């Protein structure tokens, strides 16, 4: 852990773009900037540690910053980093970006022009629903409009479905309408529709001093 | 007094000690507690759970999780004492 305030926390990677914006960032950071290496930019904030503590609040802040970037018109694709990637200085970060260039290129290509949207279907308290039928309706409506889907953790007995979708930006309106149809046709079911998020569930990159995926 | 990591060195010490450690781990199941925290949050956000109930349950679950993490850490480090 360093005492100075020049450590860089990395939220994600984008195609080379200059960004400077005010954010409520991780560890009290108030601005988001970029550090470039060739055709990629790392989304960074300056913080006072290279070992940020993982708390629910800090993770949510990390997500919120990425979400703000996803909404920008000048950014087409964001490859998110997991929580906790912090580097001593820009030079160290650039060294890591050099080593991870190919992984970043592949990840950016894999999710180009896409965002992640999440949907959870929750059984009403009386449990009087046909879960298989609902899951089928979800697949019929949403799968054709997405470039990828993941089945996420069913952490509650009341969760009928918990899915993440990779959706191209130009399909978002159609996707929103399809979700509305699912809600309208299944009024008893509780629907939690979230996003857009950086596509966490569709890229898996961890960068550090040693290697990248 | 026996340390859990001693069990590897003394396989005949006590099956009871192993069972005791397993029960502790089961009783303080961090995954199950985290799932309950997520469920509590989800039902609150969907308006299924009033704020007062949500806050009460959240406080209880976070306290349970803290205890579970401490127990788990001790079980891993072998520093938990089985009597």
Could you tell me the CATH number of the domain that includes residue A186? 3.30.70.260
Residue A38 near residue A102, CB atoms below 8 Å: no
Note whether B42 contacts A122, CB cutoff 8 Å: yes
Q: Are residues A120 and A133 in the same domain?
A: yes
Q: Are residues A76 and A121 in the same domain?
A: no
Residue B20 near residue B2, CB atoms below 8 Å: no
**Residue in chain B lying closest to A159 (CA):** B39
Structural domain of A11: 7-110
| pLDDT band for position A213 (cuts 50, 70, 90) | very low
What pLDDT is attached to residue A14? 96
Which residues from B are below 8 Å from A127, CB to CB? none
Q: Are residues A160 and A148 in the same domain?
A: yes
- Which of B 2-61 lie inside 8 A of A, CB atoms? 34-35, 38-39, 42-43, 45-46, 48
Distance of CA B62 to the CA centre of its chain: 11
Q: Are residues A12 and A75 in the same domain?
A: yes
| pLDDT band for position B69 (cuts 50, 70, 90) | confident
Note whether B39 contacts A158, CB cutoff 8 Å: yes
Instruction: Give mean pLDDT, residues A195-200.
Output: 93
Instruction: Give mean pLDDT, residues A165-192.
Output: 95
Interface test with chain B among A57, A60, A190, by most B beta carbons within 10 Å: A190
| pLDDT band for position A124 (cuts 50, 70, 90) | confident
Number of Cβ within 10 Å of residue A148's Cβ equals 16
Distance, in angstroms, between B29 CA and closest chain A CA?
A: 14
Q: Are residues A105 and A126 in the same domain?
A: no
Q: Is the pLDDT of residue B11 over 80?
A: no
Q: Are residues A91 and A122 in the same domain?
A: no
What pLDDT is attached to residue B13? 56
**Residue in chain B lying closest to A156 (CA):** B39
Q: Is residue A211 a part of any domain in this protein?
A: no
Number of domains in chain B: 1
Report the DSSP beta bridge partners of residue A42. Answer: A13, A35
**Across the A/B interface, how many CB contacts are shorter than 8 Å?**
25
Helix (H, G, I), strand (E, B) or coil at A19: coil
Distance, in angstroms, between A109 CA and closest chain B CA?
A: 32
Q: Is the pLDDT of residue A81 over 60?
A: yes
pLDDT per residue over A138-160, tens digit each? Answer: 999 999 999 999 999 999 999 99
Structural domain of B74: 2-82
**Please, what is the average pLDDT of chain A?**
91
Residue A41 near residue A84, CB atoms below 8 Å: no
pLDDT per residue over A33-52, tens digit each? Answer: 999 999 999 999 999 998 99
**Please, what is the average pLDDT of chain B?**
79
What pLDDT is attached to residue A3? 43
Instruction: Give mean pLDDT, residues B34-63.
Output: 95
Which carries the bigger pLDDT value, residue B78 or residue A23?
A23
Q: Are residues A160 and A119 in the same domain?
A: yes
Q: Is the pLDDT of residue A18 over 70?
A: yes
What pLDDT is attached to residue B12? 55
**Residue in chain B lying closest to A119 (CA):** B42
Q: Are residues A13 and A100 in the same domain?
A: yes
Q: Are residues A106 and A125 in the same domain?
A: no
Q: Which of A116, A182, A128, A185 is nearest to A152 (CA)?
A: A116
Nearest to B35 among A125, A156, A192 (CB): A156
Report the DSSP beta bridge partners of residue A7. Answer: A47
Instruction: Give mean pLDDT, residues A61-89.
Output: 94
> Is the bond into B4 cis (omega within 30 degrees of 0)?
no
Q: Is residue A2 a part of any domain in this protein?
A: no
Number of domains in chain A: 2
Q: Which pTM value belongs to this model? A: 0.81
Q: Is residue A56 a part of any domain in this protein?
A: yes
Residue B74 near residue B5, CB atoms below 8 Å: no
Q: How far is Cα B77 from Cα B69, in angstroms, rounded to an integer?
A: 12
Q: Are residues A136 and A174 in the same domain?
A: yes
| pLDDT band for position B72 (cuts 50, 70, 90) | confident
The share of chain B scoring above pLDDT 70, in percent, equals: 64
Number of Cβ within 10 Å of residue B69's Cβ equals 13
Among the candidates A92, A110, A128, a domain finishes at A110
Nearest to B48 among A120, A159, A190 (CB): A190
Residue A66 near residue A12, CB atoms below 8 Å: yes
Q: Which residues of A have a CB under 8 Å from any CB of B?
A: 120, 122, 125, 153, 155-156, 158-159, 190, 192
Which carries the bigger pLDDT value, residue B20 or residue A199?
A199
Distance, in angstroms, between A194 CA and closest chain B CA?
A: 12
Which residues from A are below 8 Å from B35, CB to CB? 153, 155-156
Instruction: Give mean pLDDT, residues A113-135.
Output: 90
**Residue in chain B lying closest to A189 (CA):** B46
Instruction: Give mean pLDDT, residues A3-24.
Output: 89
Q: Is the pLDDT of residue B17 over 80?
A: no
- The per-residue b/e assignment along B37-60, b for 16 or more CB within 10 angstroms, e otherwise, is bbbbbbbbeeeebeeeebeebeee
Report the DSSP beta bridge partners of residue A192. Answer: A120
Q: Are residues A25 and A60 in the same domain?
A: yes
Q: Are residues A124 and A154 in the same domain?
A: yes
Q: How far is Cα A192 from Cα A152, in angstroms, rounded to an integer?
A: 14
């Amino acid at each position: 852990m360093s005492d100075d305030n020049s450590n860089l926390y990395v939220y994600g990677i984008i195609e080379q773009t200059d960004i400077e914006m005010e954010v409520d960032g991780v560890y009290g950071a108030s601005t988001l900037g970029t550090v470039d290496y060739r055709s990629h930019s790392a989304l960074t904030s300056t913080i006072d540690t290279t070992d940020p503590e993982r708390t629910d609040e800090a993770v949510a802040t990390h997500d919120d910053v990425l979400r703000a970037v996803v909404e920008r018109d000048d950014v087409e694709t964001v490859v998110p980093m997991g929580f906790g990637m912090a580097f001593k200085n820009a030079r160290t970060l650039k060294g890591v970006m050099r080593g991870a260039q190919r992984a970043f290129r592949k990840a950016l290509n894999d999710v180009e022009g896409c965002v992640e949207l999440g949907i959870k279907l929750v059984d009403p308290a009386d449990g009087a629903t046909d879960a298989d039928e609902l899951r089928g309706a979800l697949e019929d409506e949403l799968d054709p409009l997405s470039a990828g889907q993941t089945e996420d953790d069913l952490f509650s007995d009341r969760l009928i479905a918990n899915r993440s979708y990779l959706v191209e930006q130009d399909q978002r309106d159609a996707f929103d309408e399809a979700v509305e149809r699912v809600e309208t046709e299944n009024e008893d079911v509780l629907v939690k529709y979230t996003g857009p998020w950086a596509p966490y569930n569709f890229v898996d990159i961890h960068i550090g001093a040693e290697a990248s995926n | 007094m026996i340390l859990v990591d001693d069990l590897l060195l003394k396989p005949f010490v006590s099956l009871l000690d192993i069972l005791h450690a397993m029960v502790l781990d089961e009783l303080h199941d961090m995954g199950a507690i985290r799932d309950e925290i997520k469920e509590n949050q989800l039902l609150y956000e969907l308006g299924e759970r009033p704020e007062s109930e949500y806050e009460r349950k959240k406080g209880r679950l976070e306290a349970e999780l803290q205890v579970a993490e401490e127990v788990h850490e001790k079980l891993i480090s072998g520093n938990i004492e089985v009597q």
